[in-house]
Amino acid sequence: MTARPVDAVVTQAFLEAVSPLGVEVAVRVLSHAEQQLQNLRHQWELQLEQARYEARLAQRKYDAVDPDNRLVAAELERRWNAQLTRVAELEQAYAKAEQEASFTLTPEERAAMQTLAGDLAALWQAETTTQAERKQLLRLVIESVQLDGVNRRGWIEIQIRWRSGVVTRLDVKRVQRGEWSLKTPAQAVARIHELAADLSYAQIAEELNAAGWRTAFGRPFTSQHVGYLCRRDGLGRKGPRVPGDADQAR
């Protein structure tokens, strides 16, 4: 399967997840989870308090029984031990639940998450960021990406497993041959069509570069690039011939 559409979908999911809006949603979810955790903790504490009270009550009954009444003493001792066992089990379960679910976000951490979200998006788009560095960013939040191109004809099913444990499922349509081949941006070609009648190839290239356009390979436009596109589209030329105009754009 062609990797480019898959990369585009995963990248979009990543940028949405780390966007300020996505982080804000995540913070709200965490706040809700924190409240639920507080409620759960209160329930555990009530259960422990009740169990400890019943254990103390069983002890007092055992201490008050006549030692000579062995049958009653043995039964009260058994009940006391049972209550002590229940207290120990509840304490262990409570400690385990706290270990697995305990998390809090301080106001400083919340602010840092918002700042980092904006920085990450800008960092991803920066021209100075390499593909290797983008992969490192992805690995910070994505544990794995699984693809299935068999079950649905014409589609690729994508399963993104985030490091938080959440799984996102997406679909991307299989591309036709040549659909994802590198092409000069359509807006840049349209601009060339507008300027071809009045400017030379070199002047058009300067206009395109000043506007921030790049060739299909992400390079600045040259007179050779512009000349190739003009001849390909049957446009007239303006200005003196520039050596190398016949070179194919790369």
pLDDT number for residue 19: 67
Q: pTM for the complete prediction? A: 0.38
Residue type, 236: G
Q: Are 168 and 149 a contacting pair, CB within 8 Å?
A: no
Q: How many CA atoms lie within 13 Å of 14's alpha carbon, on the beta-carbon side?
A: 24
Phi, psi angle pair for 50, to nearest 5°: -65, -45
Q: Per residue in 26-84, pLDDT tens?
A: 566 566 666 777 788 888 889 999 999 999 999 998 888 888 888 888 888 899 999 99
